[in-house]
Structure 1
Amino acid sequence: MMASLLEVRGLKTVFHLLGGAWAAVDGIDLTVERGEVLCLVGESGSGKSVTGFSLVQLIDPPGEIVAGDVLFNGENLRGASDERLRNLRGDRIAMIFQDPLSTLNPVLTIGEQMCEAILEHRACGQAQAAREAVAALGRVGISSPDVRLKQYPHEFSGGMRQRVAIAIALLNNPDLIIADEPTTALDVTIQSQILYEVQKLARETGTAVLWITHDLAVVAELADRVAVMYAGQIVETGTVDDVLDRPLHPYTLGLLNSSTGMVRPGERLHQIDGNAPRIDDRPSGCPFRPRCERVQPVCSQSYPVQQMIDGRSLRCHNPVPQAAGPAPVQEARP
């Protein structure tokens, strides 16, 4: 049996702040198979972005990865040299940042940056690299791509810069794409086009995708599996149909019920009471208990251990009865 392309075991990332070291990612386990799209969802501050940066070893002080393994194609990236990581990033592993300016160099043309991403990892000529760059820009909906190659990032709108960043990530047909809220700034039509291209890449080349988002409509359209994150922990994992149609964790149900696709026009959203806990002020036991409608005494006494229910991974003392599941979330289509 082949191993997963990406296997994360007990990953823990802390931030050394005044008063101690606080865990933003607190011992998570994840797997992503070849050709699979796994969506990592949760509120802001749940640890999703820190997880993405930790996987590619891009945590800077005061952050530090203190425990766990990140196995990529059987190789533990935690023990990899800086040179090895540079060779993998942009080639076998591509990351799409939420802010495209984290990817683009303001003093180089788009063409220079895209061609460099190709020539750095493959033996081909400048002309071939330019042709591939033009094709990649076309795939993400940028018109007149041959003209755009000669322009600089400041000549693009924010949404167009994000599309360029996505095009760069797709250039070398990577084995793994880690995408951190990459379509937030894009209109619905372009977003749908990007999702189609990502799904096509996964199906045709076996590229695995870890897509970090809070948009459940995108999850419904894109994901094969879903991992729900809260307060640095993965609280529920399962197939997209199981998690969205029949959530087991009260937090998952709360996210679904607060989605715009779950209310009629003019109705108020069904919000989750309270706020996510600060990294340095998480409650004892289950961190979701102060906001949970299904809280019981045991929830304050111990953190729920991981259990398997109907083929799903779950951390909850009092799961949601299946009859309480929400109506299906509508997909993000124009």
Structure 2
Amino acid sequence: MLDVRGLRTAFHTEAGAWPAVDGVDLSVRRGEILGLVGESGSGKSVTGFSLLGLIDPPGEVIEGEIRFDGQDLRTLDEEQMRQLRGNRIAMIFQDPLMTLNPVLRIEEQMLEAIQAHAPVPRREALRRCVQALEMVGIPSPEKRLRSYPHEFSGGMRQRVAIAIAMLNKPDLIICDEPTTALDVTIQGQILYRMQQICREHGTALIWITHDLGVVAELADRVAVMYAGRIVETGPVAQVLDAPRHPYTRGLLESMPARTLPGARLPQIEGMAPSLAARPVGCAFRPRCPSAVTRCAEQAPAPVQEGDRGYRCYVPLAQTPRDA
């Protein structure tokens, strides 16, 4: 359904153009859930915004193809993209205030999301709005449709934003950490419902997160991102059980659930590089315990081994971490 090749998104400054997304390749099949993981600043959200043409100046998508059902989205004009967004491709933002208009009732915003793409009778549209709010756990949905965003808690606003994204049963939903503000009970309900939608309607998801636990529970495949590049990808069980890239292993070992009570929590030393200070060669080299001389000379090219892909000169052994 979605095939992205060589995507580069840069932010222009007086000192030059700095790539936040640097040659990303990824694909998503119909009904598949792809987890996009990495530290803050790795380029995950910028990748999601780039796919939908939501990069504002001084940012710009400067290279690459974004093919959705065979059509390159970069060739569409703004009106064509408006017809696509919220209809065939939806996005759930991390901050619900980016989605909801504070001066409009929830009812008006949800109706607009439906009627902007199809001449649906108001009664039928209201029925769909109520169903969507029920699905995400909003109590008394008929009554809450008349509320304003400020009358909801942060978690409730996020649930409304998720409901709006699902109204038109899109082919692809890009989810930018949509359950961060929710408690674990509601989060579990939303994850279950997302999987149900994918199975029933063939909807594909790109789930952007830093929570590997969510990825393990939800995703079919995972793509690990660092410094604007995909450094490892593959079926979620294989990648999490036997990572090939040292960065993926570092993320897994940093999970508190894997540390014994009272033991020091492992961490990846150092910090992710800024856009203006990325090292020559492999961007992860200054933090990598396995780095060799070659890593400082040139960035590794992608290697494909069946369903698995990675960028590393010294990949880890293909044995389970607990073996």
CA distance in 2, matches of 1:136, 1:165: 10
Question: Could you list the per-position Cα deviations for residues 184-218 of structure 1 after superposition, in whole angstroms to 9, with x for gaps in the alignment?
Answer: 11000000111111111111100010010000010
Aligned to 2:217: 221
Question: Could you list the per-position Cα deviations for residues 34-55 of structure 1 after superposition, in whole angstroms to 9, with x for gaps in the alignment?
Answer: 0000000000000000000000
Report the TM-score when normalising by structure 1.
Answer: 0.95
Q: How does 1:9-48 map to 2 (within 5 A)?
A: 9-48=5-44
Q: How does 1:248-263 map to 2 (within 5 A)?
A: 248-263=244-259
Tell me, yes or no, if the aligned pair for 1:257 and 1:326 is still in contact at 8 Å.
Answer: no
Q: How does 1:187-266 map to 2 (within 5 A)?
A: 187-266=183-262
Aligned to 1:299: 295
Q: Which residue type is aligned with residue 312 of structure 2?
A: C
Q: Secondary structure at the match of 2:301?
A: coil
Which range is displaced more, 310-319 or 42-51?
310-319
CA distance in 2, matches of 1:269, 1:137: 39
* RMSD of aligned Cα (Å): 1.1
Tell me, yes or no, if the aligned pair for 1:180 and 1:213 is still in contact at 8 Å.
Answer: yes
Q: How does 1:139-150 map to 2 (within 5 A)?
A: 139-150=135-146
Give the unaligned 5+ runs of structure 1.
Answer: 329-334
Aligned to 2:132: 136
CA distance in 2, matches of 1:266, 1:162: 35
Tell me, yes or no, if the aligned pair for 1:10 and 1:68 is still in contact at 8 Å.
Answer: yes
CA displacement at 1:327 relative to structure 2: 4.5
Q: Which residue type is aligned with residue 29 of structure 2?
A: E
Aligned to 1:332: none
Q: How does 1:92-103 map to 2 (within 5 A)?
A: 92-103=88-99
Q: Secondary structure at the match of 2:275?
A: coil
Report the TM-score when normalising by structure 2.
Answer: 0.98
CA distance in 2, matches of 1:20, 1:259: 37
CA distance in 1, matches of 2:307, 2:29: 16
CA displacement at 1:310 relative to structure 2: 4.6
**Among 143, 149, 152, which residue is 1:153 paired with?**
149
CA distance in 2, matches of 1:75, 1:261: 43
- Aligned residue pairs: how many? 323
Question: Could you list the per-position Cα deviations for residues 285-308 of structure 1 after superposition, in whole angstroms to 9, with x for gaps in the alignment?
Answer: 101010001011111111101111
Aligned to 2:282: 286
CA distance in 2, matches of 1:327, 1:98: 34
**Among 314, 318, 326, which residue is 2:321 paired with?**
326
CA distance in 2, matches of 1:74, 1:227: 22
Tell me, yes or no, if the aligned pair for 1:256 and 1:326 is still in contact at 8 Å.
Answer: no
Question: Could you list the per-position Cα deviations for residues 60-114 of structure 1 after superposition, in whole angstroms to 9, with x for gaps in the alignment?
Answer: 0110110001111111110101110000001100000011011001111001111
Aligned to 1:331: none
CA distance in 2, matches of 1:327, 1:21: 43
The reply to whether residue 115 of structure 1 matches residue 111 of structure 2 is yes
Q: Secondary structure at the match of 1:280?
A: helix
CA displacement at 1:309 relative to structure 2: 2.5
CA displacement at 1:163 relative to structure 2: 0.4
**Among 263, 273, 280, which residue is 1:277 paired with?**
273
Aligned to 2:84: 88
CA distance in 2, matches of 1:173, 1:193: 18
CA displacement at 1:231 relative to structure 2: 0.4
1:31–1:126 CA distance, 2 compared to 1 (3 A): same
Tell me, yes or no, if the aligned pair for 1:250 and 1:294 is still in contact at 8 Å.
Answer: yes
The reply to whether residue 61 of structure 1 matches residue 57 of structure 2 is yes
Q: Secondary structure at the match of 1:304?
A: coil
CA displacement at 1:326 relative to structure 2: 3.0
CA distance in 1, matches of 2:306, 2:241: 13
CA displacement at 1:260 relative to structure 2: 1.7
**Among 34, 48, 53, which residue is 1:52 paired with?**
48
**Among 311, 318, 322, which residue is 2:307 paired with?**
311
CA displacement at 1:31 relative to structure 2: 0.2
CA distance in 2, matches of 1:310, 1:173: 32
CA displacement at 1:115 relative to structure 2: 1.1
